[in-house]
Amino acid sequence: MSLEGKVAVVTGGGSGIGRAIAVRLAKDDAAVAVWDLNGDTAAETAKMITDAGGKAIGLEADCADKAAIKAAADQTRKELGEISILVNNAGMAPFTPYMEITEELWDKVIAVNLKGPHLCIREMLPAMVEAGWGRIINITSSSTQSGSFGQGHYVSSKGGLLGLTKALALEFAPTGVTVNMVPPGFIDTPMLRAAPVDVEAFAQTLPMKRVGQPEDIAAAVAFLASEEAGYMTGQTISMNGGRYMGSA
């Protein structure tokens, strides 16, 4: 699945799933701009790619900040060219009993997990429409399918992203831009390891008796980014080891 000539932005690409997605898209020949709140980890991912012979840059960008998104997009265009693949992966996933979620925390989670993807899409979509080709891939969460205890803010934000995915898929279907989502199950990343769960014990409750790897999500993203996925929009690839088998 060659993405030769395409430029991809992966938000939150300095860690976990985002890093694996950036590495995979570069392996499929895309030029990749790795964006992260942490400029050092973004640069590390970019170096992993360039050391392997791929094309990448790493940029510090708060993906909930409109001005930072504009600056990083301009830099990406200058160094790599116009952006035709956007992977909205950056996210935060606190655990807070519902009655203890402050207004400030609620707003922050919505800003990073929902408004941030919206702002990135608004920045990049016009050029995709003009080119008649684009791929927007949103990393949602299996928690939108099952609920997640102590994550009212998080599940609401990811549910909003699910809704945005479908609304945009419909509105932009005639343009050549597809909008799809990948809701990960339990994937072994720093985010999962920071969660208040016993990962090994939890893995035994899953149908496959193991958590997933970031590369599992990257494989689904690579397919959605490809030419071969051009007739697919508004859809979900659930990569979750059989945890949830519903349709959305």
Note whether 41 binds ligand NAP by CB under 6 A.
Answer: yes
Among 25, 26, 37, 155, binds ligand NAP (CB under 6 A): 37
d(CA 139, CA 17): 9
**Residue (17 or 128) nearer to ligand NAP, CB:** 17
3-class secondary-structure state, position 165: helix
CB 199 within 8 Å of CB 188? yes
CB count, 10 Å around CB of 224?
A: 23
**Residue (7 or 162) nearer to ligand NAP, CB:** 162
CB count, 10 Å around CB of 118?
A: 15
Note whether 18 binds ligand NAP by CB under 6 A.
Answer: yes
d(CA 19, CA 199): 21
Note whether 189 binds ligand NAP by CB under 6 A.
Answer: yes
Note whether 58 binds ligand NAP by CB under 6 A.
Answer: no
| Tally of residues, the chain | 248
Note whether 76 binds ligand NAP by CB under 6 A.
Answer: no
Note whether 15 binds ligand NAP by CB under 6 A.
Answer: yes
Among 139, 164, 168, 179, binds ligand NAP (CB under 6 A): 139
| Residue of 98, 154, 231, 244 marked catalytic | 154
Query: Is residue 176 packed enough to be buried (19+ CB in 10 Å), middle (13-18) or exposed (0-12)?
Result: middle
Phi, then psi, of 176 in degrees rounded to 5: 95, 0
**Residue (154 or 172) nearer to ligand NAP, CB:** 154
Note if 244 is an active site residue: no
Among 92, 155, 177, 237, binds ligand NAP (CB under 6 A): 92
Distances (CA, A) of 81 to 7, 52, 56, 87, 177: 7, 21, 12, 16, 18
Residues 6+ positions from 70 with CB-CB distance below 8 Å: 123
**Residue (4 or 10) nearer to ligand NAP, CB:** 10
How many residues at the interface with ligand NAP, by CB under 6 A? 31
Q: Closest approach of Cβ 132 to ligand NAP, in Å?
A: 29
Note whether 187 binds ligand NAP by CB under 6 A.
Answer: yes
Residues that bind ligand NAP (CB under 6 A): 11-12, 14-18, 36-38, 41, 61-64, 89-93, 112, 116, 139, 141, 184, 186-187, 189-192
Give the residue numbers marked as catalytic: 154
